[in-house]
A and B are shown apart, each in its own frame.
Chain A
């Protein structure tokens, strides 16, 4: 089942590459069909996921590299638990959305969709892998499509941004590999479940180094101050769909990695680092928020807000307790939907106005009520309005982290206040105000693909906000064993 989820997008990618040149606009249909099928699979997985069964489910495994000695026994193992199941669902959904918002891609369409689908497979692999080397493989696999997508279909200084993304991520993941190898060499296995069951306590290099080597990659991906500056650039110059995927699922790879690997595999070191992590988290929240306040570029603004919001993930993690971790896990899901939606909307606006400068816009609500309304909904969700998914996640995070890190939590809560500031100010400048002649010709987003993309995300945001048990059941099942490990450490 999960292998199917992995293979569907890449199959679509290959098929779309083999389309004849003159039919390359049919690539979008291929992409839609395959990402849709993958989405269907992810829905089935999520629906069939049994929260009362401990451990991983839907496991597929076989011996991939069975080297005789040299400690290089690597299994192909995919499986989901309550932590990854929501992310898989999110990935399935956002992939469909990103195909939809790319509907009007004209330039090199078949390559575009091929890379997009390829990226879906790569990210899926990260969420599904239960083997460190396999995890690393997919982690690296995602780089190339991302680099290509930004550097070709982006705008502005796209090559610079793509390269920056690449270098940051590679620099981070490089050390992660070292960390993985040390762990694997010490334990004699790369299997995450085995390593979780029996954490390594002694290795050739101090385990603190190993922990930070691994964390660096995740912190870059998250991203956390001071390794965050690739994100605004990447977002700003990326095409809409890529921004959606980037904010929606790629950043989650960082948080997911922390919760799945860094914490349970090195609980003691994680525990010892919790103050640093909390400080980074609180700082990131505020740092991202104050910078967001003064952004004049719409996409950059949403990008910096992501820095702030992903700080909550780290905040929840740094509490190292069940609630904080659950909050972090939920925040990943909700941020994916909310910021994904924001990027969809911003992309739709950009498609029509061809500018991202906030100062150039005014009164767009008059011209595009649908887009405007969705923008407001996404914005409100982003600022943590109750009734929408973001609130539940943030609240859970704070409830989990206050006891451990009061100051960082206070900073986090203040970040919520600031988020209201930048979101509403943006809404005011972009949507409100008098309707100007310049945007007289703008049309609203009423095509089926645009409406579907927006509506599906709005639906998820509201559904989780109003009835969080949709998410929490799975999350609790996934977090419980990890929290147990972390709470057992002193």
Chain B
């Protein structure tokens, strides 16, 4: 394979890493006058463009001895991750301007997203592990980047929890490798498909460990406990990045691992896998929603809510038992809409909290009067998180629940029943928040300015939330195409 071809395949991730270096250099040379934010954006844009070139250039399939694979699935996530990161960068530029280590912040962000791009392309346990650890490490540092008490506490907790999770994940990898004799995901899949009954137990052991390791990123119960603290303590931009990008990458990995690494549907462990995620999904939803009911801090509400949402998405993971793209396309579509929704919510909260200096829900009273646009966008996003029409969240939920029921498994119908009850519970806290913002009277009616960049991103996010709520067909088609890449041809 020629260097050029390799470059074509590796382009996005390489560009992002390169960008990280450039940003760092620029920061070193120009100090605080450097346009690091812009550079970051340019890098992200270039990476996205390169991803388009990959499609045009016919880059398809594994390279480097199967270390990574470029397919529509990885492209879907490449776009998603770069877009999300760009949105975070734009939406929080005002905040970033005040951060001391701005260059490092952007640089780490780029490293993190670059590793995630590699992560979703990984086709090999080692690549996967290294990419995962790279993005994790960057995220740990990002969580603590403002270095105040809360931020550093969040960073430390995130890191130590993450280290344990990484060890468990690795243990699972070790067993997979040991049994299959290869680190290549297709190779492992080959083994799993033909695994004798004698290896059933270690196989279960391995995939639960792996699921736990990835579950940490997905933030599903019982691997979720770090989420509220980190979302609250980490700077909001980092929180939003974690809640969307990191979670999406987690789900991408779990899908890739299952379909490419564990043989997909129809293997002896399919059912165990589905049950595992079914239970996790139900527990996540219950924990997240019920926990959020009693929260008063908006960032913690969003934290708990993201646990619950992970539960919703995991319904799609549990739906893998069926042949076809039913389950994964639901996950992909949900992640796409969830990215817009949750980003909108987080960035709005960021914009408001910056001005108010408070994350308490009571300080959001009458936000509609003080910052009408932000309040409307936030309400829209919360409605979408609840799953109310005409937002994308509604379609996403219906679609993913539909995919679970399409499998024709009775217990999945039960899981969906739990999920829909949870939707009802979640309405309670989401809509209470909406009501507080839209209808209550503010104590202090001075208008809150929302920075231009944030405004733009918020508008874009709400436009996406509405657009995919009213016209979801294109994204659903994309998600199905992407999911189809996971299946053996």
Whole-angstrom CA separation of A351 from B434 in the bound complex = 28
Residue of A nearest to B390 (CB): A141
In the complex, which residues of chain A have a beta carbon less than 8 angstroms from the beta carbon of B476? Answer: 65, 67, 72
What does DSSP make chain A's interface, helix, strand, loop or mixed?
helix
Whole-angstrom CA separation of A171 from B399 in the bound complex = 19
Are A69 and B401 in contact (CB-based, < 8 A)?
no
Are A205 and B410 in contact (CB-based, < 8 A)?
yes
Whole-angstrom CA separation of A175 from B387 in the bound complex = 14
Whole-angstrom CA separation of A163 from B429 in the bound complex = 10
Are A133 and B398 in contact (CB-based, < 8 A)?
yes
Are B325 and A178 in contact (CB-based, < 8 A)?
no
CB A179 to nearest CB in B, in angstroms, measures 10
CB within 8 Å for A177 and B398 given contacts A138-B389, A141-B390? yes
CB A298 to nearest CB in B, in angstroms, measures 26
Could you tell me which residues of chain A, from 167 to 202, have a CB within 8 Å of some CB in chain B?
A: 167, 170-171, 174-175, 177-178, 181-182, 184-185
Are B428 and A71 in contact (CB-based, < 8 A)?
no
In the complex, which residues of chain B have a beta carbon less than 8 angstroms from the beta carbon of A175? Answer: 417, 420
Residue of B nearest to A136 (CB): B398
Interface window among A85-93, A145-153, A376-384: A145-153
Whole-angstrom CA separation of A148 from B471 in the bound complex = 26
Whole-angstrom CA separation of A185 from B423 in the bound complex = 21
CB within 8 Å for A184 and B402 given contacts A69-B325, A111-B438, A144-B431? yes
- For A72, give its contact among B390, B402, B434, B471 (CB under 8 Å): B402
Are B439 and A143 in contact (CB-based, < 8 A)?
no
In the complex, which residues of chain B have a beta carbon less than 8 angstroms from the beta carbon of A181? Answer: 398, 401-402, 405, 416
Are A140 and B420 in contact (CB-based, < 8 A)?
no
Residue of B nearest to A144 (CB): B388
In the complex, which residues of chain B have a beta carbon less than 8 angstroms from the beta carbon of A459? Answer: none
CB A176 to nearest CB in B, in angstroms, measures 9
Whole-angstrom CA separation of A137 from B397 in the bound complex = 11
B383 at the interface (CB under 8 A from A): yes
A68 at the interface (CB under 8 A from B): yes
What does DSSP make chain B's interface, helix, strand, loop or mixed?
helix
Residue of B nearest to A213 (CB): B417
Residue-by-residue, is B454-489 near A (CB-CB < 8 Å gives 1, otherwise 0)? 000000000000000001110011001000000000
Whole-angstrom CA separation of A413 from B237 in the bound complex = 65
B271 at the interface (CB under 8 A from A): no
Are A70 and B423 in contact (CB-based, < 8 A)?
no
Find the residue from B394, B413, B423 having the highest chain A CB count within 10 A: B413
Find the residue from B389, B401, B409 having the highest chain A CB count within 10 A: B389
Are B416 and A178 in contact (CB-based, < 8 A)?
yes
In the complex, which residues of chain A have a beta carbon less than 8 angstroms from the beta carbon of B395? Answer: 65
CB within 8 Å for A182 and B413 given contacts A67-B477, A148-B438? yes
Whole-angstrom CA separation of A170 from B473 in the bound complex = 26
CB within 8 Å for A70 and B431 given contacts A111-B438, A137-B390, A204-B410? no
Residue-by-residue, is A444-465 near B (CB-CB < 8 Å gives 1, otherwise 0)? 0000000000000000000000
In the complex, which residues of chain A have a beta carbon less than 8 angstroms from the beta carbon of B431? Answer: 144, 147, 166
B66 at the interface (CB under 8 A from A): no
Are A185 and B428 in contact (CB-based, < 8 A)?
no
Residue-by-residue, is B298-324 near A (CB-CB < 8 Å gives 1, otherwise 0)? 000000000000000000000000001
Number of interface residues of B (CB under 8 A): 43
In the complex, which residues of chain B have a beta carbon less than 8 angstroms from the beta carbon of A174? Answer: 417, 420-421, 423-424
Are A185 and B406 in contact (CB-based, < 8 A)?
yes
CB A108 to nearest CB in B, in angstroms, measures 8
Are A72 and B399 in contact (CB-based, < 8 A)?
yes
CB within 8 Å for A170 and B394 given contacts A141-B389, A144-B383? no
In the complex, which residues of chain B have a beta carbon less than 8 angstroms from the beta carbon of A182? Answer: 405, 413
Whole-angstrom CA separation of A213 from B416 in the bound complex = 12
- For B477, give its contact among A68, A71, A141, A143 (CB under 8 Å): A68
Could you tell me which residues of chain A, from 365 to 423, have a CB within 8 Å of some CB in chain B?
A: none
Whole-angstrom CA separation of A174 from B408 in the bound complex = 19
Whole-angstrom CA separation of A67 from B480 in the bound complex = 8
In the complex, which residues of chain A have a beta carbon less than 8 angstroms from the beta carbon of B389? Answer: 137-138, 140-141
Are A178 and B324 in contact (CB-based, < 8 A)?
no
A53 at the interface (CB under 8 A from B): no
CB A17 to nearest CB in B, in angstroms, measures 9
In the complex, which residues of chain B have a beta carbon less than 8 angstroms from the beta carbon of A58? Answer: none
Could you tell me which residues of chain B, from 375 to 409, have a CB within 8 Å of some CB in chain A?
A: 383, 387-390, 394-395, 398-399, 401-403, 405-406, 408-409
A66 at the interface (CB under 8 A from B): yes
Whole-angstrom CA separation of A181 from B330 in the bound complex = 14
Are A140 and B408 in contact (CB-based, < 8 A)?
no
A467 at the interface (CB under 8 A from B): no
A425 at the interface (CB under 8 A from B): no
Could you tell me which residues of chain A, from 59 to 87, have a CB within 8 Å of some CB in chain B?
A: 63-72
Could you tell me which residues of chain A, from 99 to 128, have a CB within 8 Å of some CB in chain B?
A: 108, 111
Are A70 and B394 in contact (CB-based, < 8 A)?
no
Whole-angstrom CA separation of A195 from B431 in the bound complex = 34
CB B243 to nearest CB in A, in angstroms, measures 24
B18 at the interface (CB under 8 A from A): no
Whole-angstrom CA separation of A72 from B394 in the bound complex = 14
| Extra A-B contacts (10), CB below 8 Å, given A136-B398, A144-B383, A182-B405 | A67-B329, A68-B477, A70-B402, A70-B406, A71-B402, A143-B427, A148-B435, A148-B438, A170-B424, A178-B417
Task: Name B residues whose Cβ lies closer than 8 Å to a Cβ of A.
Answer: 324-326, 329-330, 383, 387-390, 394-395, 398-399, 401-403, 405-406, 408-410, 413, 416-417, 420-421, 423-424, 427-428, 431-432, 434-435, 438-439, 471-473, 476-477, 480
Closest 9 CB pairs of A and B: A174-B420, A170-B424, A152-B439, A181-B405, A137-B389, A141-B389, A185-B405, A171-B424, A65-B473
Task: Name A residues whose Cβ lies closer than 8 Å to a Cβ of B.
Answer: 63-72, 108, 111, 133, 136-138, 140-141, 143-144, 147-148, 151-152, 159, 162-163, 166-167, 170-171, 174-175, 177-178, 181-182, 184-185, 204-205, 213
Write 17 A-B pairs (CB below 8 A) sorted by A numbering: A65-B395, A70-B402, A72-B399, A140-B387, A140-B389, A143-B388, A144-B388, A167-B427, A170-B424, A174-B423, A177-B416, A178-B401, A184-B402, A184-B405, A204-B405, A204-B408, A204-B413
